[in-house]
Structure 1
């Protein structure tokens, strides 16, 4: 009888790295040798790291916690801090605030010392959770956590900019310099981007000069894109193009499609769409291929001018160039068609999306529903609502309220009941919706006697 080859701890790590399906990876981890009776499997630290990462990325958090507890009980090694930092990051991306704090607090229980690395993971996760209040609380007691480094201050400065507290951001910048911590390109990029967003372009360009002259830090593509966006926002297109030329001179920067996309959008907004083709040609010559965002900017520009033929032409060109349109591509056209009162064409495009290889998303449904309501196409709107609720989507409350109000004005309570039934079937009708409906209907009590009203609401 042929002897069955056992999977060793080293082999398990290799197999886990190759396995793309997190569920199959977990099954393999839990039972690496299902047909062999053996002693307790001696898992390696690398195997734990791999399976925890796969489960975290897949948001299989309950299973991830089970593996963490198992790793915690190991006595052959101490887990590395980076594994727990990754867990904090996974929870931060899913905005699981309580789990972020819990994981950070229990790092020491894994016989692992917390350093500035885990502090930075915590702060960045809190930033993803938009818990700026907690970030400030930690900052006020920062020395109790760890000695901050440049990464720490970059996160703190980013948090200050997100809360529109540029004065605080500058204070943090000055503080890191007093502590002898050298600002890096991320520090300057964050500040310059915030200044451009606040239309403080003179300060942004002054900081760009200072970072080179005083700190000997070279601007990267992100900084140039931020400045170009700021100039386009201020309708300073000539200066924006001049800055783009500065980027082209520096071969180390690498031209980003975001640069050209920003310029294309600005040209449309300034009524200079005739120059777009030249920008596209230069883009290709620079070895920068237009992406979905670039094409969407063109679609938006043509729709803004109600040039729908050109917008559809861009959709076709995307397919021909091997750049698949996404839901945003179609939603832009659908929204503009609805706004222009061309509901039939909007509905046709909406219905054609699956055939074009792009399923409508919640924005698609909400857009077409709102357009049909505005166009008083109630039967079609109810049909879209049925399909929408079936797929687990619901309209914006403002759209629904306007729809119900118009049905009441028309005195069509049959349609109103159909709407309520659709929402109820999908468990999409909540207390706020009921309050809205009863308030509107009660204002129309002249259409009913009291018993009819009660019966309708009970049903």
Structure 2
């Protein structure tokens, strides 16, 4: 079905395709769908939209509170200082900031503080936001407690609360059990008038089952959606295609793309980028390049992730000239390379056995004087290691702090795997001592990953290295 793809431009559309896999139509934005809001207190006045100036003032106040609580004084003490001005909108912003900082306990402190204020009225939005934050941090039990707390406070759950609860369960490690729970909530929602599944509910479940490679369940959900009064949107298709694409399930991804076309949903830049990345990872470069040409003919414009993906995927296939052409095209279109672009180029040259070119880019980034990221260091170390240069990698690692980069656990794991594969016992022992000095405590997963680093090595060398890793694993278990 997807052989001999041909892309042509049509005067009545941005583009016209002879194959269904990228012949797409207009979309219905998610923001245009009707939203039902259930208030816990019927006499509560309708919340007005916050003016832009007020919103910026709220954000500034939250920044001040966050600065004052960065290890200097207890969170509640700071909140009490601003008790006369802090309101619900500030607390929402605090939940977001604290969630990003992994300070979920402080979120609960803010919530308890809110409940003691005279202006506080139990609201589904507050609970939904907190359940969402707890879910993202893997605190499923706390999310469930908040759900019970919400009902005890007199609030009636609505669709947004159940969506947050489903998402919270999907963040747990036991994915099979999580999907089972999510489906149970989904079926329960259908039987509650105020909690009917929305397109957001379907999008959450469709993406989750696509990530789990459960094609049968994805098809069943699409059928259920088709029979409902809800129409899929661009987020529906992008989420499912992205999940399939990341799992290398190209045929399933293209099937969803055909469904997108039948429902006259027009692609956006996210659609183009995920197709380019998915085809690139599978090294189906003809399709990747045709999608890129179609993107150039559309009303959308490429973004940096478009070019970054092409550069790294060409590099993995050792197609250096094509990768450099993609970079040149990016510059010709007026784009400024980001640090991710530079990391993609470093990795590309590493794959193409051009370590000196990779080091040129790395040194150029250092010379700019901008703050260097540990991911950039890791990219350069990986380029050295994949080309059998562990000594050079060690020299760079030793000088990292001098250029303002603090290695993290991923740096140590990368080097441990590389030194194990190269059977450099001296470097391994030196690395372990450095880990101990820097307070990096390896777990079993750390060493098990290292065991997989030399699966294709000769038997004799593999045996010696396995002994080294297992010995390290035993030492770690004893400590």
TM-score grouping bracket, smaller chain normalisation: 0.7 to 0.9
Deviations 1:378-403 (A, max 9, x none): 44433321221233323423488899
Aligned twin of 1:288: 335
CA distance in 2, matches of 1:76, 1:375: 64
Q: How does 1:314-393 map to 2 (within 5 A)?
A: 314-319=361-366, 325-375=372-422, 377-393=424-440
Alignment CA distance shift 1:399-1:241 (3 Å):
closer
CA distance in 1, matches of 2:330, 2:93: 40
CA distance in 2, matches of 1:199, 1:346: 32
CA distance in 1, matches of 2:308, 2:237: 23
Alignment CA distance shift 1:102-1:274 (3 Å):
same
| 4+ residue segments displaced more than 6 Å | 12-15, 399-403, 407-410
Q: How does 1:171-190 map to 2 (within 5 A)?
A: 171-190=220-239
Q: How does 1:87-236 map to 2 (within 5 A)?
A: 87-130=130-173, 131-144=178-191, 146-197=195-246, 199=248, 201=250, 204-205=253-254, 207-212=256-261, 214-236=262-284
Are the counterparts in 2 of residues 298 and 311 from structure 1 also a CA contact under 8 Å? yes
Deviation at 1:22, TM superposition (A): 6.1
Aligned twin of 2:67: 21
CA distance in 2, matches of 1:378, 1:188: 50
Deviation at 1:176, TM superposition (A): 1.3
Greater Cα radius of gyration, structure 1 or 2:
1
CA distance in 2, matches of 1:281, 1:55: 41
Are the counterparts in 1 of residues 59 and 93 from structure 2 also a CA contact under 8 Å? no
Aligned twin of 1:301: 348
List gaps (5 residues or longer) in structure 1.
1-11, 34-40, 411-415, 424-428, 435-459
Deviations 1:55-88 (A, max 9, x none): 4444333343233234335565413322222211
Q: Which shifted more, 73-82 or 167-176? A: 73-82
Aligned twin of 2:320: 273
Q: Structure 2-normalised TM-score?
A: 0.72
Aligned twin of 2:289: 241
- Are 2:78 and 1:31 aligned? no
List gaps (5 residues or longer) in structure 2.
1-56, 455-460
Alignment CA distance shift 1:15-1:245 (3 Å):
closer
Are the counterparts in 2 of residues 353 and 360 from structure 1 also a CA contact under 8 Å? yes
CA distance in 2, matches of 1:28, 1:384: 43
Are the counterparts in 2 of residues 124 and 155 from structure 1 also a CA contact under 8 Å? yes
CA distance in 1, matches of 2:217, 2:327: 40
Q: Structure 1-normalised TM-score?
A: 0.75
Deviation at 1:407, TM superposition (A): 10
Aligned twin of 2:53: none
Are the counterparts in 2 of residues 56 and 87 from structure 1 also a CA contact under 8 Å? no
Question: Comparing both chains, which one has the higher relative contact order based on Cα–Cα distances under 8 Å and sequence gaps of 6 or more?
Answer: 2
Deviation at 1:283, TM superposition (A): 0.9
Deviation at 1:117, TM superposition (A): 1.1
CA distance in 1, matches of 2:245, 2:464: 43
CA distance in 1, matches of 2:332, 2:269: 18
RMSD of aligned alpha carbons: 3.5
Deviation at 1:209, TM superposition (A): 4.7
Are the counterparts in 1 of residues 68 and 78 from structure 2 also a CA contact under 8 Å? no
CA distance in 1, matches of 2:100, 2:371: 25
Alignment CA distance shift 1:332-1:15 (3 Å):
closer
